[in-house]
Chain A
């Protein structure tokens, strides 16, 4: 079953059970809450910037050159930075059709493998983002617009977000290994 567009106000949240997670994931919890607050503020600020853009053009006939890009940076930043917080609550939707027909043990193994595969991808993506960020700083890349902000700003947010996501996944994978190694 695919969970569709969204769950605003519907909250399909799985209440996190008091499981013995060996405290691994606790390391990330404060980071995630801080990131969530900053990212939320980022979204609200982006809304105000765009509103300002409409108002200033209408009332003062200012040309709008920086507002769109500034909002793009804010929103891209918010999205990537909060990726780990979403992963912490298993909020990235997946097709879970198969879980209903698999025995619980096989299912746990499947989930473990899925997490490992996701982790490998995210680490690779983080590494490539870092290379891109490094290049953007060294070469002084800027966007092609009239405002010309440096590109290291969004790239660093993307890299940082992917690194956080990778750390989150490492902790989740570690938790699963820990649970297996511990006699029940």
Chain B
């Protein structure tokens, strides 16, 4: 059989098995195994389990459960509410300050928790009711939280980035740093939109008030004294310490990224024990159980995705596809747009982890040939996958929000989220025009990339 027909068969059977509803991990493993038995020498079939083990037994990949543990520890504590409360106290005087406080809280929380849905539910469960109480429309409030939550897979320590670093053989430290500029860009875009939208809703409410006398909560201005503001600060400080401590350990050269994961988890557990007295086995049980469940689910998908791409490359499917793409001589930007479009479509069905591991061997060689910076591309690809998290009708964050704020109709949530999808597209375009936003920071801290 030719590589082309094997490749088509491989892709088709994967789609079939996955859409039949087989768990993603086992679907990938089963398809890979069947093709190994059919097309590969029996000696390699015998080492299938060794293969999976060796691919997985990398401390970089295995730091993922520890990052999840850190995120779960923070996510299950009251840290989200406290962080949000303090930011609100400091920002409430600015028009749309409450919305902005939510965006900031999401970004900071995401940087500590490293997970998008966890951020949505931790900040959203406090933020959405507050925003609605202050007269924000349901869709707007939901949109802010859904979009803010996606920063979780962009800001370090993003699990998506860890996998990209492994798949693309790029420096994880550099990739983490490269994400910071673009994350701030997105925060700025979200903030600007929140201010604009607040003004609009404010004007509408004001007009309605002047016309018919219906009072809207959005018109009420509340005031917190300086004393109240400072009283809230100590509750946030420990987490800022955690965040900076971990960053210093990583970039000061004291710890490898995986050691940082362990350190972060220990610090997070210590902090919630000291501040929120969460330390008894009964308190810790839900944190540990949810960490374990998520890690197992994710790591099995990762392990089987790696086996899947191993088979794909052994049978020359990925190389041939990559060569074929290169031979099309597309202009770099057409190539980029096509690939990103494909990532968006895959994002409707697959979690980011599988998208990265399955597509990296195919899409990275053509991108390298077209002289794209792979660190920069990693950031772009992550933002595009973030869009997949909030893009109606299938974005995961939409359903997280629906879960924590069931009184907002799903329709409103979807409409509220849409402007943020556009803002992300704007963000991607800005990054394409000014790649320095991503590459400048790591170059400053770690020096320019060594020529390879």
Residues of A within 8 A of B (CB): 1-12, 36, 39-40, 43-44, 46-51, 53-54, 57-58, 68, 71-72, 75-76, 78-79, 82-83, 85-86, 89, 91-99, 110-111, 113-114, 117-118, 120-122, 124-125, 128-129, 131-132, 154-155, 158
Contact = CB atoms under 8 A, between A and B. Distances in A.
Interface of B: 17-27, 29-30, 33, 46-50, 53, 56-59, 62, 65-66, 68-69, 71-72, 75-76, 113, 115-118, 120-122, 153, 159-160, 249, 254-255, 258-259, 261-263, 265-266, 269, 288-301, 348-353, 388-389, 394, 396, 399-400, 403-404
B394 A93 contact: no
B118 A6 contact: yes
Contact of B59 (A68, A113, A121, A129): A68
Contacts of A54: 249, 254-255, 259, 262-263
20 contacts: A4-B116, A4-B396, A7-B117, A8-B291, A9-B117, A9-B118, A9-B121, A10-B400, A11-B290, A51-B263, A75-B299, A78-B296, A79-B300, A82-B296, A110-B20, A114-B21, A118-B30, A121-B33, A132-B49, A132-B53
A122 B58 CA distance: 23
A91 B294 CA distance: 8
A3 B293 contact: no
Contacts of B403: 10, 12
Contacts, number: 238
B49 A4 contact: no
A64 to B, nearest CB: 9
Mostly, the A contact residues are: helix
Contacts of A121: 26, 29-30, 33
Given A5-B115, A68-B59, A110-B20, A158 B396 contact: no
Given A43-B69, A128-B49, A5 B29 contact: no
Contact of A2 (B115, B255, B300, B351): B351
Contacts of A51: 259, 262-263, 266
A79 B293 CA distance: 9
B213 to A, nearest CB: 41
A39 B295 CA distance: 11
Contacts of B389: 4
Given A9-B122, A47-B69, A79-B299, A158 B292 contact: no
Given A4-B117, A99-B21, A47 B266 contact: yes
Given A8-B72, A72-B59, 19 more contacts: A1-B349, A4-B117, A4-B352, A46-B65, A46-B66, A47-B261, A48-B266, A54-B254, A76-B56, A82-B296, A92-B26, A92-B300, A95-B21, A95-B349, A114-B21, A117-B30, A121-B30, A121-B33, A128-B49
B56 to A, nearest CB: 6
A100 B53 CA distance: 36
Given A114-B21, A117-B30, A86 B297 contact: yes
Nearest to B268: A47
- 6 smallest CB-CB distances across A and B, nearest first, come from A50-B262, A92-B23, A40-B288, A4-B396, A47-B265, A121-B30
Contact of B75 (A8, A44, A46, A82): A8
A158 B258 CA distance: 22
B48 A44 contact: no
Most A-side CB within 10 Å, residue of B29, B53, B68, B403: B53
Given A75-B62, A154-B53, A68 B258 contact: yes
Contact of A125 (B27, B29, B66, B153): B29
A3 B76 contact: no
A155 B400 CA distance: 37
Given A39-B292, A92-B25, A47 B20 contact: no
Contacts of A71: 59, 62, 258, 262
B293 A91 contact: yes
Contacts of A93: 23-24, 297, 301, 351
Nearest to A1: B394
Contacts of A89: 293
B292 A7 contact: no
A43 B65 contact: yes
